[in-house]
């Protein structure tokens, strides 16, 4: 059974519909990618899954149960969003940002401490900058912090919105490698990307166009798809 099963999901902003029936199925442990161009509805999908936008139709099942509730309830259930544009707390230190990532499990100090060690292992740069305010970090470091903060509550499903946005190809590669590592350590990942390069490491891929998922397959199949090649590689 899939960890996350989305059927016919509809959502939008006020009277403007953006999602016109999105279908997704993501197995536990998989490294999934949702690929699409600007305005396809990728971020809207993630925000609806995280509870930041209400669904206007369709169903979401998580771990076999219908998914409803506030953003906080979903974080507790293990669904954590790493939002587009990083959204770190600029005037707090790196360490304080990470501490707040563990907000929902803050009373379990042992787990908070071991999660912090794990984040520092994956992103050693964050440990070097632990006492620096997040606003003074470079774009790549802020992205690492946003992902690290997402990992602090031991999520089962990490939703990462356009981690490569505004990063150099080299940094993008580093961030993708870190996400791959996080996935290999047991967290199910759904990455939203415009950068089709990420398909190489994905075991499941969905391509979105105009509020619908139009292509579903494995990462390598999708990478060979003519439509995808034309839209993302111009070949």
Partner 1 sequence: MGAFLALGLFQGAVYGLLAVGIVLVYKAKRVFNFAQGEFGGVAAFTAYAIVVGTGLPYWAGVLGGLAAAVATGLIVERAIVRPLESSSRTIMLVALVGVALFTIAIIVLVGQPIPRVMPPLVDGGGVNILGAGILPQQLILMAVLAVLAAAMAWFFKTDLGLAVLASSQDTRAAQVVGISPIAVSRLVWGMAALLGGIAGLLYAPVGIFTPGFMTLTMLVPAFAAAVLGGMTSLPGAFIGGLAIGVVQNLGIYYLGQQLKVPGAAELGVFALLMLVLLIRPQGLLGGAN
Tell me which residues touch partner 1 (CB under 8 A): 50, 52, 70-72, 75-76, 80-83, 87-92, 96, 99-101, 103-104, 106, 133, 135, 149-150, 152-153
Q: State in angstroms the smallest separation of the CB of 230 from partner 1.
A: 35
Shortest Å, Cβ 20 to partner 1 = 25
With respect to partner 1, which residue has the nearer C-beta, 89 or 120?
89
How far apart are CB 201 and partner 1 at their closest, in Å?
A: 24
- Nearest distance in Å: CB 215, partner 1: 29
Give the chain's end-to-end CA distance (angstroms, integer): 37
In terms of CB distance, is 88 or 223 closer to partner 1? 88
CB closer to partner 1 out of 40 and 79? 79
Residue whose CB is less far from partner 1, 153 or 204: 153
């Amino acid at each position: 059974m899939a960890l996350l099963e989305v059927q016919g999901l509809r959502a939008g902003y006020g009277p403007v519909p953006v999602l016109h029936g999105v279908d997704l199925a993501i197995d536990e442990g998989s490294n999934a990618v949702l690929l699409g161009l600007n305005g396809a509805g990728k971020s809207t999908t993630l925000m609806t899954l995280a509870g930041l936008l209400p669904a206007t139709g369709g169903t979401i099942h998580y771990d076999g149960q219908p998914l409803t509730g506030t953003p906080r309830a979903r974080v507790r259930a293990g669904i954590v969003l790493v939002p587009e544009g990083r959204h770190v707390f600029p005037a707090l230190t790196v360490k304080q940002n990470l501490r707040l990532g563990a907000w929902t499990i803050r009373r379990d100090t042992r787990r908070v401490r071991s999660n912090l060690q794990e984040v520092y292992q994956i992103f050693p740069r964050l440990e070097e900058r632990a006492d620096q305010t997040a606003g003074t970090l470079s774009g790549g470091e802020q992205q690492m912090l946003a992902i690290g903060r997402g990992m602090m509550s031991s999520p089962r499903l990490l939703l990462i919105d356009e981690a490569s946005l505004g990063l150099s190809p080299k940094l993008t590669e580093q961030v993708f490698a870190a996400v791959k590592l996080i996935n290999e350590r047991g967290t199910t990942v759904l990455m939203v990307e415009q950068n089709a390069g990420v398909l190489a490491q994905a075991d499941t891929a969905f391509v979105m166009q105009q509020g619908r998922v139009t292509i579903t397959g494995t990462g390598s199949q999708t990478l060979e798809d003519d439509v995808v090649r034309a839209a993302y590689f111009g070949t």
